[in-house]
């Protein structure tokens, strides 16, 4: 989803609502100490941001207009019209910042600059976005402070679990923590865009998705009525995380597929099955599996090889970048399902 310091993206598990990899704090105190020593925090960083934007750092008569944002437990006060936006991870946070019209000047590309999610953002000039380096699996705060953003955008889950050091990031610029990667992405994009007074942006994303779903359903014909579908993540143990309530499940349901393990009321978005349980978990006509080729133990399992989808040659990899996003990630899942099953559609006249 490796240009960056963290492990190659395909060597880690990507699950919405969980940290992308285990975070280690080794070396973090040294980074903080260095930042304090060089004076990037609070003083110089905020002053630099004010100089770059031409605004004071307070919301006085000559300061920037501010808005109070509140959504799903996140409450913050941020500039209404930021001019230099930095994004932390470069997944759902980047998608949200771009599609809502923020001027993104820098982003972490924690999972690389390639992937199906970034393909869905092709109308934006991502080559012009400066890459924020990561060190010890944290954004390089010294570099970020020098960029002098007036707003930092990150995932709400990463903010609420303090993956990247909220207190330090907040000394550089106000933080907007956004929900991304949930099956309720329609509610998330509309609710958050409205909270930012950018309602039209959210609605346009929904219309884009609905048009793509309608087109895909026509192309797929009766395939969703005939074939059941299961999604999951391959594990090094030869087992799987079976997805029960993730964004991709919602998309497959919108396309009309029956999913044996899909439960829109499930509190846990996925569950783990060991290799000996694959006969039940993977018993579907179609399988979409994240990290399929990167974790060969699953495909080497005799029980997995005996599953209907494997015997029918309907097992497909699913790009991990699509596991955290909003409407654009949903569109990427639509395209992947349609493309993967194009042969079946052609065979049945779909």
- The reply to whether 133 falls in a domain is yes
Could you tell me if 230 and 153 lie in one domain? no
- Rounded to the nearest 10°, the torsion over CA 95, 96, 97, 98 is 50
Could you tell me if 29 and 166 lie in one domain? yes
- The reply to whether 205 falls in a domain is no
Could you tell me if 172 and 108 lie in one domain? yes
Could you tell me if 115 and 168 lie in one domain? yes
Q: Is the pLDDT of residue 184 over 60?
A: yes
Q: Is the pLDDT of residue 62 over 90?
A: no
Could you tell me if 131 and 251 lie in one domain? no
Per-residue model confidence (pLDDT) at position 199: 92
Domains identified in the chain, total number: 2
Q: Is the pLDDT of residue 192 over 90?
A: yes
Boundary-marking domain end, from 180, 195, 210? 180
Q: For 27-47, write each residue's pLDDT tens digit.
A: 445 445 545 544 444 444 434
Boundary-marking domain end, from 115, 148, 180? 180
Q: Is the pLDDT of residue 87 over 80?
A: yes
| Three-state SS at 317 | strand
Could you tell me if 95 and 166 lie in one domain? yes
- The reply to whether 191 falls in a domain is no
Residue 204: exposure state from Cβ atoms within 10 A (0-12, 13-18, ≥19): middle
Q: How far apart are CA 26 and CA 197, in angstroms?
A: 40
Average pLDDT over residues 132-151: 94
- The reply to whether 335 falls in a domain is yes
Mean confidence (pLDDT) of the chain = 85
- The reply to whether 197 falls in a domain is no
Per-residue model confidence (pLDDT) at position 346: 59
- The reply to whether 307 falls in a domain is yes
Distance of CA 256 to the CA centre of its chain: 24
Boundary-marking domain end, from 180, 201, 233? 180
Per-residue model confidence (pLDDT) at position 17: 43
Could you tell me if 139 and 85 lie in one domain? yes
- The reply to whether 195 falls in a domain is no
Percentage of the chain modeled with pLDDT above 70: 81
Average pLDDT over residues 209-217: 98
- The reply to whether 112 falls in a domain is yes
CATH of the domain at 32: 3.40.50.1980
Could you tell me if 101 and 233 lie in one domain? no
The pTM score is 0.82
Lowest-confidence range among 58-62, 95-99, 157-161, 316-320? 58-62
Per-residue model confidence (pLDDT) at position 282: 81
Q: For 268-325, write each residue's pLDDT tens digit.
A: 999 999 988 888 788 899 999 999 999 999 999 999 999 999 999 999 999 999 989 9
Q: How far apart are CA 233 and CA 289, in angstroms?
A: 5
Lowest-confidence range among 18-22, 87-91, 196-200, 225-229? 18-22
Domain of 141, in residue numbers: 9-180
Average pLDDT over residues 6-17: 36
Could you tell me if 119 and 248 lie in one domain? no
pLDDT band at 149 (very low <50, low <70, confident <90, very high): very high
């Amino acid at each position: 989803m490796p240009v960056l310091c963290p492990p190659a993206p395909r060597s880690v598990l990507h699950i919405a609502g969980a940290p992308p990899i285990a975070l280690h704090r080794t070396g973090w105190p040294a980074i903080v100490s260095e930042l304090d020593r060089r004076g990037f925090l609070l003083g110089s960083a905020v002053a630099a941001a004010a100089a770059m934007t031409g605004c004071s750092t307070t919301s006085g008569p000559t300061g920037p207009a501010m808005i109070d944002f509140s959504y799903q437990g996140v409450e913050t006060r941020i500039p209404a019209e930021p001019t230099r936006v930095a994004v932390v991870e470069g997944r759902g946070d980047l998608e949200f910042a771009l599609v809502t019209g923020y001027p993104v000047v820098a982003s972490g590309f924690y999972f690389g600059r390639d992937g199906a999610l970034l393909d869905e953002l092709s109308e934006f000039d991502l080559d012009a976005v400066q890459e924020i380096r990561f060190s010890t699996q944290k954004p390089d705060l010294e570099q970020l402070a020098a960029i002098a953003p007036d707003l930092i955008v990150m995932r709400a889950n990463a903010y609420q679990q303090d993956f990247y050091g909220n207190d330090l990031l907040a000394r550089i610029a106000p933080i907007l923590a956004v929900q991304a990667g949930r099956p309720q992405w329609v509610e998330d994009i509309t609710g958050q865009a409205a909270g930012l007074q950018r309602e039209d942006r959210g609605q346009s994303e929904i219309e884009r998705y609905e048009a793509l779903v309608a087109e895909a359903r026509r192309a797929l014909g009766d395939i969703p009525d005939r074939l059941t579908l299961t999604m999951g993540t391959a594990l090094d143990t030869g087992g799987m995380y079976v997805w029960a309530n993730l964004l991709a499940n919602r998309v497959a349901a919108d396309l009309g597929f029956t999913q044996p393990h899909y439960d829109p009321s499930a509190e846990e978005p996925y569950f783990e099955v060991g290799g000996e349980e694959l006969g039940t978990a993977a018993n579907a006509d179609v399988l979409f599996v994240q990290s399929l080729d990167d974790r060969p133990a699953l495909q080497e399992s005799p029980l997995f090889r005996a599953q209907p989808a494997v015997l029918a040659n309907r097992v497909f990899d699913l790009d991990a970048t699509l596991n955290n996003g909003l409407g654009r990630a949903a569109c990427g899942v639509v395209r992947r399902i349609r493309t993967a099953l194009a042969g079946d559609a052609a065979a049945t006249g779909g």
